[in-house]
Amino acid sequence: MNEEDLRKAFRDVVASSPPPMDPGAALGAAHKARSRRRASVAGAVVAVLVAGIGLGAAFAVDPGGTRELLLASPSSSSSGRWPAGQTDATPTSGPHADRAAQLLVALTASAREAGFETSELNQLAEAHLDSSPDKSPQVWVYRVRVPVRKDGGVGVLLAEVSTPRPGEPEDPCVFANRSQGHTGAGGCKTYDVGGKQVGTAASTSIDQPASTTASYRAAGGWTVTVTQREDDPGSGHPKLDAQPFFTPALAALAADPKLLPGG
């Protein structure tokens, strides 16, 4: 798995819900896949993602705080040089990896404050260089995934934070609609959160579990997008009775300063 595979999986989880997978079988498959990856990249530096058994895998409460690490083999680059200490666009340490970890902590805390159980086992945190290493300014994207559980049901929160990207529009609805796969501006509702404009868009498919996205563009050009689903695709667990947050609360979460560096 390289970072492009991970990014695609992260996007797909918003709009698709694959058939349930038996948790034990999923864990076994992950261990086998990890062994194959280790053998194929022996001696190479690998990217370590704070994850369990991958996107859409089993959710389990982990009182002991045990983490299962998923190893991703480095991908090749046709141009430029990666930052010091990196072999690809996904750092395993340093300020960007730390920033992704901080985002994971912040989103997890918000879920717990709302009364949900969370688990490190199936969480994910990734920092990804989304531009050429030689480009200035560089564009970094931080993505986290937090499964949440309440009353036996399991859903998921996804957050994506991006550094300023030259040429991006200021309308937050562009980002919300993009995350949901919508075209145009239809279906987006804007909320005022303490003077901050947050765009929200909901899933429109009647055949899939409900999801909602809230996007906020900060004054400095940083963008924050938070998506919630009432299910955790592929986990084999029943979905929540409803999405984790009402839409105004989700908008407030996207505009929360703690999701941005220094917040």
Look at residue 35 in the predicted model and tell me its pLDDT. Answer: 45
What residue ranges do the domains of the chain occupy? 3-259
Contact assessment for residue 85 and residue 93, using Cβ atoms and an 8 Å cutoff? yes
Output the average pLDDT for the chain.
75
Q: pTM of this prediction?
A: 0.70
Give the Cα separation of 254 and 263 in Å (integer).
12
**Higher confidence at residue 246 or residue 219?**
246
Q: Above 50 in pLDDT, residue 64?
A: no
Structure tokens at 263: 């917040």
Q: Above 50 in pLDDT, residue 33?
A: no
pLDDT tens for 207-237 read 888 999 999 999 899 999 999 999 998 888 8
Look at residue 57 in the predicted model and tell me its pLDDT. Answer: 38
Q: Choose among 33, 45, 25: nearest CA to 1.
A: 33
Tell me, letter by letter, the H, E, C secondary structure of 135-173.
Answer: CCCCCEEEEEEEEEEECCEEEEEEEEEECCCCCCCCCHH
Look at residue 136 in the predicted model and tell me its pLDDT. Answer: 84
Q: Is residue 10 within a helix (H) or strand (E), and if so which, with residue range?
A: helix 3-15
Q: What is the DSSP letter of 85?
A: T
Structure tokens at 233: 């695709």
Q: What is the DSSP letter of 259?
A: G
Return all residues near 29 (Cβ < 8 A) that are at least 6 apart: 53
State mean pLDDT over 36-58: 37
